[in-house]
Amino acid sequence: MRSMLLETHTDPKASQMLEIFAQRRFYSARMQQRVRLTLLWWVVRTKISQSLKRTLDIGISVIALLFAAPIMLLTALAIKLDSPGPVFFRQTRVGKWGETFDCYKFRSMHIDAEERLKELIARNEADGPVFKIKNDPRITRVGRIIRKLSIDELPQIFNVLKGEMSWVGPRPAIPREVAQYTYEQVQRLQVIPGITGLQQVSGRSNVDFKRWIELDLQYIAEQSLWKDIQILLKTIPAVLFSRGAY
């Protein structure tokens, strides 16, 4: 063994190979350390971003409830007087990573809406797994008004407070729609769904499903607190002018 070490020490090629090997180990260790630091920074940044987003969600929800309470009470009364059935509509929706939750809305349709859906499937005006038609006969008189002004979605503030939804994010889908998703479309489930999002400020029901998915994936790729604030500000004129709402 000693003779081999002496031979290596005196052989310039062997010494060079040992030096190269040592350098590679050194650079490999540095690279591993850099990767660990990069991953650590990504985790810390993500946690901070999520905490700030959650703080924004709770703050806006509390303020929104204070201002929206009278509107919600009047809406509940109008729904009760307009048609038989409950004031609120609760539906199973798919959230982040496929987790399901009960999404709350003011009831805007007649109580037999789900049963009548089969009769209307052939009239679907939306592409993809989504069902949308203008002048849907299942919608009540009050329902048309609250849908136009997005008042029907105000109870989702409670979903936000529970952490099931955010103010900004992809709209939560129905399980039967998600069952038809392609691999690309499933990627929209990477984040917590929202009350509003890029699709809502880009035309709502006027946006085809392919573009809808593109906007959701764009939001996921670019999401930030500032982006959320921009979308929230753009939501105000979109709601006031009822762009693409029906």
> Which residues does 189 contact at the CB level (< 8 Å), separation at least 6?
94, 95, 96, 97, 98, 170, 178
- pLDDT score of 44: 79
Element (H, E) at 100: strand 100-106
The C-alpha atoms of residue 44 and residue 153 are separated, in whole angstroms, by 33
The pTM is what?
0.81
- Confidence at residue 131, expressed as pLDDT on a 0 to 100 scale: 83
pLDDT recorded at residue 124 = 84
Those residues of the chain that have pLDDT short of 70 are 1-27, 29, 35, 204-205, 243-246
Q: What is the rounded distance in angstroms from the CA atom of residue 57 to the CA atom of residue 59?
A: 6
Other beta carbons within 10 Å of 190 = 15
pLDDT at site 195: 96
